[in-house]
Amino acid sequence: MTQDINIFKVIYLYNEGIKKFDFKTLKDFLEDNFGKIKVYLIRLKSKVVHTQGLLFDLRGTKKAFEAGGYAKDEDACHIVLTERLFATLGQDRRPHIRASIYSFPSVISTSGIVEGPAKPKEFYLYKQKYTSIGAWDIKEAGIKKKFKSRFIDYRDTRLTEVLKGYIAQAIFFYIFGEPFCQHKNCRLFNAHWQEDLIHAQIKHGKFCKRHRKFLTKIKTACPYGRQGGLK
Ligand SMILES: [Zn+2]
């Protein structure tokens, strides 16, 4: 099936209070993989990500985003980066913490990256054990150090590298309506475990063969899909 691709000219990254990430590295990654696009970083003056309790409030977020005048450029991919933690209801009708929401705008939460994908089971066993004897406060730093290579934590120096994958997912959602890939060796893998996240974004840190082909097509396509299509 051939599909026209709707290429944007601009990516706007809106920073809602994230302190530790490297914009230049993200910009280089986006240009290397998606071609000649402009990437802008905009610091939000007021918060746009809304929740009701812990649940992500899509309508409230869209409304605040539009009220701020940010959605004016319709030929652009809009991505909000926030520290705010949010959840959506799973099929089991229980709230599940999310690292990202792919919509218009897309929202990526750094706290959600830490709290969303599950840590290794052994970590929770240590936590349970030391919490039960009231020693978690003094043991936490040591245990986290022991598991450093197996999950992303707050103020983690690997955050920028992980953000690359989530931003790529937001862009694939914007172009194709599908942000994810089923292959663990792809930056578009929807990781439910921290170890899978680290594998996809840091240890492997590449796109799968199929998505590399997509990227080549995206790079060579004219804006608004005037040229060619995707097979
Ligand atoms: Zn893939």
Instruction: Provide the pLDDT for residue 219.
Output: 86
Tell me the CA–centroid distance for residue 28 and ligand 1, in Å. 20
Q: Which amino acid is at 5?
A: I
- 164-171 average pLDDT score: 98
Could you tell me the distance, in angstroms and rounded to a whole number, from the CA of residue 208 to the centre of ligand 1? 4
Distance 64 CA to ligand 1 centre (A): 33
Confidence of residue 2 (pLDDT cuts 50, 70, 90): very low
- The whole-number pLDDT of residue 227 equals 42
* d(CA 150, ligand 1 centre) in Å: 22
Q: How far is the CA of 54 from the centre of ligand 1 (A)?
A: 31
Ligand 1 centroid, distance to 178 Cα (angstroms)? 11
How much distance in Å is there from the Cα of 169 to the middle of ligand 1? 10
CA of 70 from ligand 1 middle (Å) equals 30
What distance in angstroms lies between residue 210's CA and the mean position of ligand 1's atoms?
6
Q: What's the 179 CA to ligand 1 centre distance in angstroms?
A: 10
Helices 136-146 and 121-132, packing angle to 10 deg? 160
Q: How does pLDDT run across 139-151, given as a tens digit for each residue?
A: 999 999 999 999 9
Q: What is the pLDDT of residue 73?
A: 82
Ligand 1 centre from 69 Cα, in Å?
Answer: 34
pTM value?
0.92
* Ligand 1 centroid distance, CA of 27 (Å): 21
- Cα 100 to ligand 1 centre (Å): 18
Domains of the chain: 10-225 (3.40.390.10)
Give the mean pLDDT of 81-106: 96
CA of 189 to the centre of ligand 1 (A): 7
Q: How far apart are CA 16 and CA 107, in angstroms?
A: 10
CA–centroid distance, 91 to ligand 1, in Å, is 25
Averaged pLDDT, 7-19: 90
